Amino acid sequence: MVLLAFTALSIGAMAQSNQRSIRAYGAGIAELTTINGKPSLNLGGYGGVLINHKFLIGAAGNNAFFRHKVNGKEEKMQFNYYGLYSEYRFMPEKPVHFSVGLTGAMGWAENDIKNDSKTTRRDGDYTWVVQPKLGVNIKITRFMQVQGYATYRFTGNTKSAYYEQSNFNGVGTGVGLVYGSF
């Protein structure tokens, strides 16, 4: 709902603008976040179509890697989420400008069980993920920008064998290399 409202307001604001442009860009991200209150590494990316140099609508994917004790052993685990992404850029013509983004996705937890052969299995059910983001963008070249950002991840209940719903919620800070036509 929030994503739809954000999209409707942004499109309404763009309709009042005289400049019309359709471009595209994408980014790879590395983020330090928390899962169960402990540090975790989140690697992912996002990209999409940029309308009037300000509003991006597209897709995002993230994989947060962490460890957890299972039956007395440290096991490798991850929380994956993929879905829609939107971003609005304030004063994109400036060399340094701000942006706000929102990811609306489906997520799930996985773990690597160490048996005779290494297998990965889903832990629990799929759940919703909503992740707002506030970023600072710095132009490096005409086709490259660096984005530093802060975010917070809200999740539903995965019914995980090891975690409660709130364990996957967490603050994050990261950096993205953004390439494309702005």
Beta-strand (E) ranges in 115-180?
A: 118-141, 144-155, 170-180
Which helix (H) or strand (E) element contains residue 4?
helix 2-15
Which amino acid belongs to residue 46?
A: Y
Q: How far apart are CA 177 and CA 29, in angstroms?
A: 7
Q: How far apart are CA 146 and CA 60, in angstroms?
A: 17
Residue 168 is classified by DSSP as: G
Write out the chain's pLDDT in tens, 182 residues. 554 455 555 555 545 556 689 999 999 999 999 998 889 999 999 999 999 999 999 999 999 999 887 777 788 889 999 999 999 999 999 999 999 999 999 999 888 665 556 666 777 889 999 999 999 999 999 999 999 999 999 999 888 877 777 789 999 999 999 999 98
The pLDDT value recorded for residue 141 is: 95
**DSSP string spanning 94-114?**
SSEEEEEEEEEEEEEEEEEEE
Burial track 39-70 (b if 16+ CB lie within 10 A, e otherwise): ebebebbbbbebbbbbbbbbebbbebebebeb
